[in-house]
Amino acid sequence: MSGRHSRGRGAARTPVALVAVLAALCLAAAAAAGVLAWNRHVHAADERARTQAVSAARVAAGDILGYDYRSVEQSIRRARSETTGAFRKQYDSTASVLLPQSKQLKAIVQATVGSAAVMSASGDRVVVLLFVDQATVKQQPGAKTPETRIDQSRVRMTMTHTGGHWLVSELAAL
């Protein structure tokens, strides 16, 4: 009878140990699945932020670097709404000079972004490299015909996520 009891106890311990090991393995697998799911979520959010920042940079580049003397006030308001921080103050300063000059020269500048790529990204800040073509038509006072010029430039634009929007916080010609 004592032999039966010892076998019974061993047999009882084996399923309990097996259940404990299986439970530990299930917890580890669930934790690993949770980490993988979280990483996928974070990666998707980062990718979405990059895509949105590049899209906003393309639009802002056209608005900030282009204008038409016939509607320059509207162009300046639109471009200003796409800026933030210290760059907004810098843009305001530039716009105050641009306003009278554009009308005097009857200037029309059309900025078109050819290519754009993310240079770096972290949290709510994305740095974008843009290849921009600017077609300018202006007429010097007293000239009979307007001048036309095309400039190709590279622009580094820092986009900052502010108030639910990607806004230009820095712009540099390269």
pLDDT for 1-32, tens place per residue?
444 444 555 555 678 777 777 777 777 777 77
Per-residue pLDDT tens over the stretch 88-123: 999 999 999 998 999 999 999 999 999 999 999 988
- How far apart (Å, rounded) are the C-alpha atoms in residues 128 and 167? 12
Q: pLDDT category, 160, cuts 50, 70, 90?
A: very high
Nearest-CA neighbor of 111 among 84, 130, 92? 130
The dotted CATH code for 2-173 is 3.10.450.230
Per-residue pLDDT tens over the stretch 125-159: 999 999 999 999 998 888 889 999 999 999 999 99
Cα angle value 6/10/16 (rounded, 5°): 145
SS3 61: helix
The model carries a pTM of 0.76
Q: Longest Cα pair distance anywhere in the chain, in angstroms?
A: 121
- How far apart (Å, rounded) are the C-alpha atoms in residues 85 and 82? 11
Please report, for the chain, the start and end positions of each structural domain, with discontinuous segments joined by +. 2-173
- How far apart (Å, rounded) are the C-alpha atoms in residues 68 and 143? 19
Other CB atoms within 10 A of residue 43 CB: 10
pLDDT for the residue numbered 15: 82
pLDDT for the residue numbered 29: 73
Per-residue pLDDT tens over the stretch 28-76: 777 777 776 766 766 767 888 899 999 999 999 999 999 999 999 999 9
Nearest-CA neighbor of 112 among 129, 98, 132? 132
pLDDT for the residue numbered 86: 96
- How far apart (Å, rounded) are the C-alpha atoms in residues 38 and 9? 43
SS3 164: coil
